[in-house]
Amino acid sequence: MIEIEKSFTDGKTAFKGKSYKDLLRSYLVLRLCCFDTFANNAYKIFTGVHGVVGTRLFEVLFKPTVYANFIAGDSKADILWTAKRLSKSGLMPLISPMLEDSPDAKGFHREMYARNKEVIRESIEICSMVENANGPKCLAIKLTALIPAQIMADLTEKLGPEQNISTENISQLSEAFQAGDLEIVTSLQLNQEEKERIVGAIPILMWLGEECLNKNVSVYIDAEFTQFQPGVRLLALTLINIFNRKHQTIWNTYQCYLRATEDQVKEDTELMDALGAKWAGKIVRGAYMQYERNRAKELGTSDPVHATYTDTSSAYNRTIEYLMEGKNRGKSWRFIIASHNQESILKACSLFKEFNVQDDVYFGQIAGMGEGISCGLAQSGFNVFKLVPTGSVEEVLPWLSRRMEENKGMMAGAERDRVIIFQEIKRRTIRI
Ligand SMILES: Cc1cc2nc3c(=O)[nH]c(=O)nc-3n(C[C@H](O)[C@H](O)[C@H](O)COP(=O)(O)OP(=O)(O)OC[C@H]3O[C@@H](n4cnc5c(N)ncnc54)[C@H](O)[C@@H]3O)c2cc1C
């Protein structure tokens, strides 16, 4: 374990694919995140500056700096170039088109879903062209980018506070999806309007599964805000049941900062085992903590998020242990440990050994974050993905603003990144 930990600080290897200019930029962006006022108000600042200087000048300022640090680009050539650069460091891309990111269920329209479908179609195409020797070709999407969020809100309400999902729910929905008709679904007590909304979404969800299956691409369904997440989970499990018969085409995401998640991972793996489908999951801590807490306060409901950071981390680590132990029992599950947290990652590394896990378990970090950890893991023989967001400047702004805040929140991780980057800049400067 000491060797692995040491490899996390090996800047020379970690930044093999990065130019001197790239390193200086990363260092400056991470330094910028140290300013609380900036990190806390990044979205307001970005959109404010955009409003004042206009799109053109904003892009001139923003694209070579913050954007270039975290985003792969918005063209096929840029994305494939990023994938190639990652492969030099032994890393694989997890392509993530930035399409929609709002807790407002009502603000979207038909044209937007059609446009997003085109972006996803292109992303699947690009993904299929990537050479990933040690893992699936994959992309991550939000269901709310593809179908009305109201569907997920309706399903969330039907599932109720217990969020119990049964084999009956999944079997009925799977059959209905394949028939294109919801009459068979009696277990959810949907009214006519709700049924019509879901029926309208079936073709695009089935298209997503079929397109990915045909192109041999895996799609990770992102986890979202809690007013939609139980519905997202129900739809993701339905798609897993339909499409993951031979391979893991569809993956669900689990936010361990939610108190309910640890049990849900157990329930879902058991459910999919019972239905004969191959479960796959992305395990994260969760990105919307402050929003969830504020919302619970406003609604007078109990906080869905664990009370402390330590509680979230313990739930995260226990979830990984449960899954690793399952691999040891011969389960065909696949999962990605999507975290920048050094302690959780080192613990997972030791579990690989303890449970003799050979394959189908991956690590994942976001591009521009945890670079030393990603390269150290790859160097130590683990299979590692870097989440590479794609999209135009305007499309990526909300996501980037969250990353700026997160880099402030992840003080230890961001500080470690800054130190490694600085040492590598120093090493190259002396060499010059
Ligand atoms: C490949 C990849 C894919 C991702 N996909 C998604 C996704 O689909 N949906 C999503 O929501 N997020 C997603 N994330 C983001 C993720 O949920 C985290 O926000 C991010 O990774 C930071 O957590 P960490 O484990 O890396 O780092 P750490 O710094 O160890 O953890 C920070 C996290 O801990 C939790 N936390 C912090 N303080 C407290 C507190 N006081 N009480 C309780 N919990 C606390 C929060 O979740 C916070 O984000 C993804 C991340 C990666 C790397």
Query: Does residue 10 sit within a domain?
Result: no
332 and 303 assigned to the same domain: yes
287 and 225 assigned to the same domain: yes
Query: Does residue 275 sit within a domain?
Result: yes
Decide whether any atom of ligand 1 lies within 6 Å of the 93 Cβ. no
| Cα–ligand 1 centroid distance for 341 (angstroms) | 9
329 and 386 assigned to the same domain: yes
| Cα–ligand 1 centroid distance for 369 (angstroms) | 12
Decide whether any atom of ligand 1 lies within 6 Å of the 365 Cβ. yes
The answer to whether 427 and 32 have CB atoms below 8 angstroms apart is no
Residues whose CB is less than 8 angstroms from the CB of residue 299 and which lie 6 or more positions away in sequence, other chains included:
none
Decide whether any atom of ligand 1 lies within 6 Å of the 231 Cβ. no
| Cα–ligand 1 centroid distance for 256 (angstroms) | 8
Query: Does residue 305 sit within a domain?
Result: yes
How many domains in the chain?
A: 2
Which is the closest atom of ligand 1 to the Cα of 288? 11
Residues whose CB is less than 8 angstroms from the CB of residue 113 and which lie 6 or more positions away in sequence, other chains included:
145, 146, 147, 148, 204
| Cα–ligand 1 centroid distance for 339 (angstroms) | 7
311 and 431 assigned to the same domain: no
182 and 320 assigned to the same domain: yes
Q: DSSP assignment of 42-72, as one string?
A: HHHHHHHHHHHHHHHHHHHHHIIIIIHHH--
Query: Does residue 55 sit within a domain?
Result: yes
Residue nearest to atom 16 of ligand 1 (CA): 286
CA distance 285 to 283: 7
pLDDT tens digits in sequence order for the chain, 432 residues long: 778 888 888 888 777 777 888 888 888 888 877 777 777 787 888 888 888 888 888 888 888 888 888 888 889 999 999 999 889 888 999 999 998 656 565 656 778 899 999 999 999 999 999 988 788 999 999 999 999 999 999 999 999 988 999 999 999 999 999 999 888 888 888 999 999 999 999 999 999 999 999 999 999 999 999 999 999 999 999 999 999 999 999 999 999 999 999 999 999 999 999 999 999 999 999 999 999 999 999 999 999 999 999 999 999 999 999 999 999 999 999 999 999 999 999 999 999 999 999 899 999 999 988 888 999 999 899 999 999 999 988 888 888 787 777 666 554 567 788 888 889 898 988 866
342 and 223 assigned to the same domain: yes
| Cα–ligand 1 centroid distance for 7 (angstroms) | 23
127 and 30 assigned to the same domain: no
361 and 401 assigned to the same domain: no
Residue nearest to atom 32 of ligand 1 (CA): 410
| Cα–ligand 1 centroid distance for 429 (angstroms) | 34
CATH number at residue 290: 3.20.20.220
Decide whether any atom of ligand 1 lies within 6 Å of the 286 Cβ. yes
Q: What is the pTM of this model?
A: 0.93
324 and 356 assigned to the same domain: yes
Query: Does residue 11 sit within a domain?
Result: no
48 and 87 assigned to the same domain: no
Residue nearest to atom 5 of ligand 1 (CA): 222
Q: If DSSP codes are grouped into helix, strand and coil, which group holds residue 283? A: strand
Pairing label, strands 217-221, 137-141: parallel
Query: Does residue 8 sit within a domain?
Result: no
261 and 400 assigned to the same domain: no
Decide whether any atom of ligand 1 lies within 6 Å of the 410 Cβ. yes
59 and 101 assigned to the same domain: no
- The boundaries of the domain holding residue 39 are 18-66+391-432
